[in-house]
Amino acid sequence: MKNITLLVTYWNEKEWVDVSLKQIKKINPKKIIICDGCFDSRKLNKSTDGTREIVQDFIRQYEGEAFFFEAIRVNKWKSIKKLADAMCIDGQKTSLGDYYWAIRHTLRTNPYRINQAITFSMMLKKARVSVGDWFMTIDADQFYSDSMIESLEELSSCQSDYQQICADEYTFFENFEYYSDTYEKRKWNNMPYQMVKGARLLPTRDFKIKTSIFKVEDYHSVVKSKAVGNYFHYKFRKDIERISSGYELGDRKAPEKERAMSTKFFTEKHPSVIIEHFVNLK
């Protein structure tokens, strides 16, 4: 098993959940915690398309440590302490600086995003991730090259000289044939991190490192990172209503049409789990 903990979130993912779980099996993490639910308190806090039942069955059969989780939804005006505590993901005590950032986000951040941050923090704590451990978040429609998955074998809490893995995203908006390599600028989005002292999690899912009492900096600007190629984000579905409903959550908005365009013809190889699942794909 690979020395990493996966944090996975699903909500009505019937089109992607099966192949996503196949990828998890291929990664073969030491620990996995899967959340089924919705971070928007206006919506039902569970999938209604069969996703939850598929996930629960997967967890029952998984050979490693596997946990089921539901999205945490709070009244943000009553949750400053909960958010401040949640930001401290490295096991340290909550400080005055953590309360400062919690108050800032309470005043300016949509509850949907606060709920996400608190949920991911609680997932990390449920899985007992501590300093030195590796972890990563995964979305249902996000996949990783075979070479990147193989590189996860190298992860060790005591041997690696880097604390973050980075990659370029290939974003597919309409089909498997055309993609964009300019849509996602963050090379660290949903990629592996090693927990370090001072690690903080700010809404939505923004991993930072505390460098002074009131200052936090991006993980990638503080620690050493390793580039491992690319990963794949398939943002298309047959169910158009599901696409629309995803942008109705919290303060989410659909990307501008000019950005959400797949203009490059794909000539490389998709991840093997994608090729095997979609049998007509070459």
% the chain with pLDDT above 90 = 89
> Is 134 within a domain?
yes
For residue 110, the model assigns a pLDDT of 97
> Is 184 within a domain?
yes
> Is 282 within a domain?
no
Read off the pLDDT of residues 122-170 as tens digits, 9 standing for 90 and up: 999 999 999 999 999 999 999 999 999 998 888 764 567 899 999 999 9
Of the candidates 223, 238, 215, the one whose C-alpha atom is nearest the C-alpha of residue 191 is 223
Report the alpha-carbon distance of residue 82 to residue 86 in Å, rounded. 6
> Is 140 within a domain?
yes
For residue 158, the model assigns a pLDDT of 53
Read off the pLDDT of residues 209-257 as tens digits, 9 standing for 90 and up: 999 999 999 999 999 999 998 999 999 999 999 999 999 999 999 999 8
pLDDT beyond 90 at 194: yes
Q: Mapped to the 3 state alphabet, what secondary structure does 41-99 carry?
A: CCCCCCCCCCHHHHHHHHHHHCCCEEEEECCCCCCHHHCHHHHHHHHECCCCCCCHHHH
> Is 258 within a domain?
yes
% the chain with pLDDT above 70 = 98
Q: Give the single-character DSSP code of 180.
A: B
pLDDT beyond 80 at 282: no
Of the candidates 253, 113, 118, 264, the one whose C-alpha atom is nearest the C-alpha of residue 182 is 264
Token duo for residue 255: 């990307």
Read off the pLDDT of residues 38-85 as tens digits, 9 standing for 90 and up: 999 999 999 999 999 999 999 999 988 999 999 999 998 888 999 999
Report in angstroms the alpha-carbon separations of 30 from 58, 189, 243.
Answer: 15, 21, 32
> Is 189 within a domain?
yes
For residue 258, the model assigns a pLDDT of 85
Most confident of 1-5, 6-10, 184-188: 6-10
> Is 259 within a domain?
yes
- Give the CATH number, domain containing residue 152: 3.90.550
pLDDT beyond 70 at 202: yes
For residue 109, the model assigns a pLDDT of 97
The number of folded domains in the chain is 1
Task: State the chain's mean pLDDT as an integer.
Answer: 95
> Is 241 within a domain?
yes
Q: Which residues constitute the domain of residue 260?
A: 2-277
For residue 73, the model assigns a pLDDT of 98
pLDDT beyond 80 at 1: no
Report the alpha-carbon distance of residue 233 to residue 82 in Å, rounded. 32
For residue 14, the model assigns a pLDDT of 98
For residue 137, the model assigns a pLDDT of 97
